[in-house]
Each structure stands twice: as structure tokens, then as C-alpha cells.
Amino acid sequence: MRKGSVEYEQALDAMVEILRTRARRGAETVEYGRLSAELERLGHHVPPHEGPMPYLLEDASAEGSPDGSLPLLSALVVLKETRAPLKGFFRLARRAPYHRPGDDTELWINEVQDLARQYADR
């Protein structure tokens, strides 16, 4: 699956919908493996820790907040062992246009809480 292809865009749309649904449920997190399985069930082969997964997560966040003012959907995707996002999430959150402050834990907790508030009425 190549970024920009029809297949990629369809997988991105599916991922955004999965993450928005979880955000509406009070910012319910999802493990990379579970997200991969949900995408597979919808016909999109996205391995949990390789290939297009990091690009899809970044693009899902950009789609949900193109100017950086809204919480990042990828905050909901966590590693099974740590129950926290991988380092790629924190790199994304700290760069333009997002510029999220705080240490990793504070940044992540704030982002998840902001997602819960943002999607509470949707």
C-alpha cells in the first residue's frame, strides 16, 4: 500500500472513522494490534508496527486537526505492553503545527482528555 494511492486513502478513511468512534466513546484507547485487526476486518491490510501504520496515524491526526488546534486522534493508539503511544506520536505532537507542551506523560494525558471533550457531543 503506497501513500497517496486509492487503497491508502480508503484505509485512512477507515482509520479515521475507527478513531473518531473511540473518541466519541470517551477517548477509548486501542492497541496497535487491535487497530490493525479492525482495519483488516474492513478489508485493509495494515500491519500493527510496520508498513503504512505510522503514516496512516500521522495522516489521521492531520486530517482531524490540519491547523494543529484540535486534539490528535493518534493519541488513542497505544502499545499493548505499556498502554501508551510509541515515540512517533510524541515526535508528531511536538512538531509544527501541533507544538504540544509537557513531558510525554503529561502531553499524552492532556491529548486524550482533550479528545474526550472534543468528541463528547458528536
Q: pLDDT tens, 19-74?
A: 999 999 999 999 999 999 999 999 999 999 888 999 999 999 998 788 999 999 99
Q: What is the pLDDT of residue 48?
A: 94
Model-level pTM? 0.93
Q: What is the pLDDT of residue 1?
A: 85
Q: What is the pLDDT of residue 114?
A: 95
Q: What is the pLDDT of residue 59?
A: 96
Is residue 99 pLDDT above 80, yes or no? yes
Grid cell in block for residue 113: 482528555
- Number of CB atoms found within 10 A of residue 78's CB: 20
Cα–Cα dist 56/104, whole Å: 21
CA 40-45-48 angle, to 5 degrees, is: 85
Cα–Cα dist 27/46, whole Å: 22
Domain ranges for the chain: 6-119
